Structure formats: C-alpha cells, structure tokens
Amino acid sequence: MIQVNELKKEYIQKGQMITAVNSISFEVEKGEFFSLLGPNGAGKTTTISILSTILSPTSGNVLINKINVEEDPHKIRQHIGVIFQDPSLDDRLSAQENMDFHGRLYGMSPADRLRRSELLLKMVDLWDRKNSLVRTFSGGMKRRLEIARGLMHRPLLLILDEPTIGLDPKSRRDIWHYIHEARKEWGMTILLTTHYLEEADGADRVAIMNKGKIVAMDTPSKLKQSLGPGLVTLEIPPDKMDQVKNTLLTFYDVRHFSLETESTLKFPMPSSVSSPAVFLQSLPPVLTGFSVGTPTLDDVFISLTGDQQSINI
C-alpha cells in the first residue's frame, strides 16, 4: 500500500538547515496497521505530510497504491483519509454538514452521503447531535467527528497524526474501537503516528523514529524480544548505589541504565547471566528489591536512542 524510498526533507529555519526526515525507507502492506513512534521533533508529521501530498520531499519518493505522490496527488487524495494533529473541522457548520461537505469534495452521491453520514455519526455516538454546531462540541466530540469524517469516503489508507493527543482514556479507547471496526469492514490500511507506547503496541509493526531516522522497525513483540531475556530492576539504598554499580560494571560490563534514580537501576539482563537467581547471588547483599520484567516499547526506545527521558507523556 505504501512504499517510501530514501525519503528526505530539509527545512531552512532561521537561516539554518534542519534535516527533519533523513533518508528513511519503509513499506506498508495492504490492510496492515503500521505505526511511526517517536518523540516530538522526530519527523513524524513531516513524513506523513509528504505521504498525504501536503509537502513535497527534498529527495526520495513515495508510492501509495503504486502511484507516485508527486506525480498524481489528486489520485492519491482519493485513496486516503487524513486525520491531522490539529483539528480541521468547520466550527460554523453542524456535524452533519461537515460530513456532507466532505462527501461532496469526494464526489459522493447525495444518497451515499446520507447513508454514510448516518452510519458513521451513529458509530461515533454523535447521531443525536448531528444538527448541533461543531463549535458547541467538546474536544473528544470533535475528535470523534473528525474520525467519522475521515472514514466518510471509505479510504484505502487512513493516516492519523497523533489522533488521541489530549483525550481522556475512555475517548481514546472509543476512537480505537471505531477505527478497528472500519478496518474490518473494508480492509483499510492504517498509518499512525504516536508517542503513546500503548497505541503503538497495538500496531502490526512499529518503526521507531528519532531525529529524522528510523532506528528500529519490527513487530512490537520482536522489538521487545530484541532487548533479551528481560529487564532487571534493582532497588538499592542510596548509600550503596556506587558499590552495586561498580559490581555491575566490573563483572557484567553494564554501563547504561534505562532508569536511574537515587535508589533504582533498570537495565537489560546481561547476556552472560545463566539465571536470575545466580545473578542475584552475585550482587552485593544490600538490595532492597529485585525484579525481572518483560521489556516494554518504552524500554526499547530508551535502549535504542540512549535517551533517559521516557516518551510516554
């Protein structure tokens, strides 16, 4: 469905050149749910702006459904639905009017527009508010309406740029429910950008982006497995911290910690360790806590980028 080849985008900002997207390549299959995961400034919005024909690349190319986005942007727009990071509804129109207007832009017949908008407004629980002006809607209602509108013309590819940012957990769950319903109905492909790890965890594959580059790309479970048998968390009295760190460095060559506080260390289980019990016995007898957990995508991200800061904000 999507082929991205050596895509690059440079911006000039205050006389300085910024490489927002630095020669990335990836492919997304038809029907796949693919996520670009990365912190602010990683280049996610720039990438999908090129995919949705809003920006042109500095170099490289993008094919959607085998069509080059630069050669036939009009055709591309017929195939895709886009839900932008910033809302783009018309506040002065009602919910139904926003849906209808979108259907007209896509050349849908009046009967089809009516049918689709009823079905979709019901799906996102806005049918009883169909005649209310959008400016009277809460943030969550607006988001739901944007999703319904994005699905109006049955796009083959739905592109979502941080769609649930700032929403409460219930609205986030609801929105995912609607998207998955639509996905089942016509085998829609989904490209999501997010910095919420639990959202990326639901994807078939994830590309982790950092500073314009893709630093890893795989299924969420394979990405987590790549960290090895588990993540160790040690609780240590602060005055014994140096002693424990010294042992880890000397015997296991552990130098990097994904979480380091005054009393906690977190790091991938060293590969030379035969069992957690043996590992525990080899550490100074000062620990107040020891656990081995399954790595999360957060841990994968930190180990790949060396970034101490969690991206799950």
Ligand X SMILES: Nc1ncnc2c1ncn2[C@@H]1O[C@H](COP(=O)(O)OP(=O)(O)O)[C@@H](O)[C@H]1O
Where does residue 50 rank: exposed (0-12), middle (13-18), buried (19+ CB within 10 A)?
A: buried
Contact 113, 104 (CB under 8 A): yes
- Which residue, 98 or 305, has its beta carbon nearer to ligand X? 305
Binding-site partner at residue 18 among Mg ion, ligand X, none, CB < 5 to 8 Å by type: ligand X
Backbone angles phi, psi at 37, to 5 degrees: -115, 130
Q: Which is nearer to ligand X, 206 or 248 (CB)?
A: 206
Does 44 sit near ligand X (CB under 6 A)? yes
Write the Ramachandran bin of 222: left for phi over 0, alpha for psi from -120 to 50, otherwise beta. Answer: alpha
Do 134 and 98 form a contact (C-beta atoms < 8 A)?
yes
Asked if residue 292 lies in contact with residue 191, where contact means CB atoms within 8 angstroms, the answer is no
Among 35, 45, 49, 303, binds Mg ion (CB under 5 A): 45
From Mg ion, ligand X, none, which one binds at residue 20 (CB under 5 to 8 Å depending on kind)?
A: ligand X
Q: How far is the CB of 12 from ligand X (least distance, A)?
A: 7
Strand ranges, E, within 46-185: 59-64, 67-68, 80-83, 157-161
Asked if residue 52 binds Mg ion (CB under 5 A), the reply is: no
> Residues 51, 54, 57, CA angle at the centre, nearest 5°?
65
Under the criterion CB under 6 A, does residue 4 sit at the interface with ligand X?
no
- The residue to which tokens 């783009």 are assigned: 88
Which of the listed partners (Mg ion, ligand X, none) does 11 bind, with a CB threshold of 5 to 8 Å by partner kind? ligand X
Residue, CB closest to Mg ion: 45
Looking at 46, 117, 164, 210, which residue binds ligand X (CB under 6 A)? 46
Using only the alpha carbons of the chain, give its radius of gyration: 23
Tokens of 279: 């590992």
Task: Quote the CA–CA distance of 100 and 248 in Å, as a whole number.
Answer: 63
Q: Which one of 41-49, 110-118, 260-268, 280-288 is the stretch in contact with ligand X (CB under 6 A)?
A: 41-49
Name which position in 1, 2, 24, 42 contacts ligand X (CB under 6 A): 42
Question: Which residues touch 104 (CB under 8 Å, ≥6 apart)?
Answer: 113
Q: Is position 164 an interface residue for ligand X (rule: CB under 6 A)? A: no
Residue type, 133: L
Q: Which is nearer to ligand X, 44 or 116 (CB)?
A: 44
Q: How many residues bind ligand X (CB under 6 A)?
A: 12
Q: Does 38 help bind ligand X (rule: CB under 6 A)?
A: yes
Of 1-9, 43-51, 65-73, 128-136, which part binds Mg ion (CB under 5 A)?
Answer: 43-51
* Residue closer to Mg ion, measured from CB, 47 or 98: 47
Q: Which residue has 């080899």 as its token pair? A: 282
The 3-state DSSP composition of the chain as helix, strand, coil percent (nearest 5) reads 40, 25, 35
Whose tokens are 């986030």? That residue is 172
Residue 193 C-beta: closest distance to Mg ion, Å: 6
Q: Which of 11, 115, 284, 288 binds ligand X (CB under 6 A)?
A: 11
Residues 178 to 207 in contact with ligand X, rule: CB under 6 A: none
Residues that bind Mg ion (CB under 5 A): 44-45
Residues that bind ligand X (CB under 6 A): 11, 13, 18, 20, 38, 40-46
